[in-house]
């Protein structure tokens, strides 16, 4: 027994020297790994770089596809998506059993840890959006569960961040984030704090921004994304409906929305997600790819992505949600995954 413990100690020392052990913030005791953290570690691969902060979407058209999703009976199963919180609106419509958010930037994982902490702290939509933007939570919070999204937006717009209030909120959120068990260093918490401060400073005027460049005038504000309607005038943002918000909140509470660091054309992350879905005897219902395919084609990586796509468990109702940009505006479309693979095989 003592010999086994000694050998284990030697292995731990070697792993520490090689830098393989999880990173722990200085002055913070190691927390036991959670199932959530273990899933992230198992599915992720080394991060890559992209030149945007991507705190909010730049796709005005992101909700235009919702009627097509509903008409195609796209529901249940597993959801896969890229990017920030527009995924929650698709998740609210598809109602998957679990979801994976894959992004080449580790910063996207950190942003989703912030969202997860906010869902844990917020009792309803009004409290969530208030906490996200650092605004005071409205009085009579229970009554706000039946408020329209316009009323919630108006509350945030007429409020200002409470002086010093963000420090207390940040402490609560950091404590919640550390409780998720994901190995983080101090710089990670600082990055999460910087992301949150961007929402607080800009409020609902926040826009998508590329590094070193001003936001394009054609990009929607966070306010516009929240209030967006489809071609029939319907509102589908997850914060427009208390029922939708509570569904996403419940998924977050049971660790069923898992942010993953990975390249969709890489050799591990997307394949590992597919294997995890298959292990649950599920299939992909919707894969929101945004306009990532444009960059994959530019970098001669589209073929590898299609190969990964073909490995995902799916059926005839499994779809891709993609965005196409031209002159600053976006068009969102839905296509079956089988159709995407078939067209790619024909060189289209």
Q: How many domains does the chain have?
A: 1
Q: Domain of residue 269: give its range.
A: 34-345
User: Do 266 and 273 touch, CB atoms closer than 8 A?
Assistant: no
> What's the pLDDT at 134?
96
In a domain, 19, yes or no: no
> What's the pLDDT at 211?
56
Q: How far apart are CA 317 and CA 199, in angstroms?
A: 36
In a domain, 72, yes or no: yes
Residue 249 per-residue DSSP state: H
Cβ count near 306 (within 10 Å): 17
In a domain, 1, yes or no: no
Nearest CA to 244 out of 236, 252, 256, 255 is that of 236
In a domain, 322, yes or no: yes
In a domain, 5, yes or no: no
> What's the pLDDT at 124?
98
In a domain, 252, yes or no: yes
Q: How far is CA 229 from the centre of its chain?
A: 21
User: Do 101 and 111 touch, CB atoms closer than 8 A?
Assistant: no
Sheet holding 329-336, edge to edge: 257-261, 98-103, 78-81, 284-290, 319-326, 329-336
Nearest CA to 287 out of 246, 261, 317 is that of 317
In a domain, 7, yes or no: no
> What's the pLDDT at 34?
73
> What's the pLDDT at 274?
98
In a domain, 27, yes or no: no
User: pLDDT 10s digit of each residue in the chain, 348 long?
Assistant: 434 434 434 333 333 333 333 343 333 434 445 799 999 999 999 998 776 778 999 999 999 999 999 999 999 999 999 999 999 999 999 999 999 999 999 999 999 999 999 999 999 999 999 999 999 999 999 999 999 999 999 999 999 997 766 788 999 999 999 999 999 999 999 999 999 999 999 999 999 876 555 666 778 999 999 999 998 999 999 999 999 999 999 999 999 999 999 999 999 999 999 999 999 999 999 999 999 998 899 999 999 999 999 999 999 999 999 998 877 678 999 999 999 999 988 876
> What's the pLDDT at 162?
75
């Amino acid at each position: 027994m003592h010999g086994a413990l000694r050998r284990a100690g030697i292995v731990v020392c070697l792993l520490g020297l090689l830098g393989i052990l999880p990173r722990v913030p200085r002055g913070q005791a190691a927390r036991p790994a959670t199932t959530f953290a273990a899933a992230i570690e198992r599915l992720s691969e080394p991060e890559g770089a992209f030149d945007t902060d991507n705190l909010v979407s730049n796709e005005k058209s992101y909700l235009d596809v919702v009627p097509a999703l509903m008409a195609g009976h796209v529901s249940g199963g597993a959801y896969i998506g890229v990017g920030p919180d527009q995924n929650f609106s698709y998740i609210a419509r598809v109602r998957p059993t679990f979801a994976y958010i894959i992004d080449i930037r580790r910063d996207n994982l950190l942003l989703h840890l912030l969202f997860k902490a906010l869902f844990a702290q917020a009792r309803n939509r009004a409290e969530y959006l208030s906490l996200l933007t650092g605004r005071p939570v409205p009085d009579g919070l229970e009554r706000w569960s039946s408020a329209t999204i316009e009323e919630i937006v108006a509350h945030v717009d007429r409020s200002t961040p409470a002086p010093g209030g963000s420090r207390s909120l940040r402490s609560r959120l950091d404590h919640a984030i550390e409780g998720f068990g994901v190995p983080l260093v101090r710089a990670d918490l600082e990055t999460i704090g910087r992301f949150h401060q961007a929402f607080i400073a800009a409020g609902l005027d926040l826009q998508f921004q590329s590094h070193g460049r001003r936001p394009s005038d054609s990009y929607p504000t966070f306010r516009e994304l929240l209030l967006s309607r489809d071609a029939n005038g319907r509102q589908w943002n997850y914060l427009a409906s208390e029922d939708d918000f509570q569904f996403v909140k419940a998924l977050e509470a049971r660790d069923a929305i898992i942010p993953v660091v990975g390249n969709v054309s890489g050799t591990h992350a997307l394949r590992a997600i597919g294997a995890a879905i298959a292990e649950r005897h599920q299939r992909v219902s919707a894969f929101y790819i945004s306009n990532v395919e444009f960059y994959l084609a530019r970098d001669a990586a589209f073929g590898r992505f299609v190969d990964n796509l073909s490995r995902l468990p799916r059926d005839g109702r499994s779809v891709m949600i993609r965005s196409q940009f031209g002159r600053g505006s976006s068009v969102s479309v839905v296509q079956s995954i089988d159709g995407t693979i078939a067209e790619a095989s024909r060189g289209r």
